Amino acid sequence: MAIPDVLLVEPDVHGDTRGFFFESYNRRALAAAGIDVEFVQDNHSRSRRGVLRGLHYQIQHAQGKLVRVAEGEVFDVAVDLRRRSPTFGRHVAMTLSAANRRMLYIPPGFAHGFIVTSESADFLYKATEYWHPEHERTLLWNDRALGIAWPAGIEPILAAKDLAGVPLASADCY
């Protein structure tokens, strides 16, 4: 992984003609993989093609997130906002989908966002801290300084708070 603190989790999937089964959360298995945290909140969003959510973070009560897609596909991005980190300002980006069943652990200190690349997507994530709207910030999704190669051919659909995101140069960072 380009940023060692962001961890890819590929669950052991048991499948046959009836379908499949996998553990989407097992505290012992995740701890063994380096994710030894307590999750306090589960979130679920459904979005249609082109919806871009992010890049969100909290300046206090920073959240670690374990994210996955239960239906559909997204292009997922995590940006390191830890000023003392050797990877400050760099990002990790990958496709998460119901088909590949990948999960991504994004530690506290990162901005996070995604764009839906399928007709719709159900996005699930566990958070290590509660949401505090007064501490939420938004990093500008298309800031050239970030160098994120968002998927071509998809016109992003953004909420007002995402349109008002700030560039990395003026962002509140950790």
61 catalytic, yes or no? no
Q: Which of 44, 56, 57, 112 is catalytic?
A: 56
The one-letter amino acid at 41: Q
Q: Tell me which of 91, 105, 112, 125 is the catalytic residue.
A: 125
112 is catalytic: no
Helix, coil or strand: residue 47:
strand
Peptide bond into 55 cis (omega under 30): yes
DSSP letter at 48 equals E
SS3 9: strand
Rounded Cα gap, residues 64 and 35, in angstroms: 10
Distances (CA, A) of 13 to 90, 92, 98, 141, 169: 31, 24, 12, 33, 42
Task: List active site positions.
Answer: 56, 125
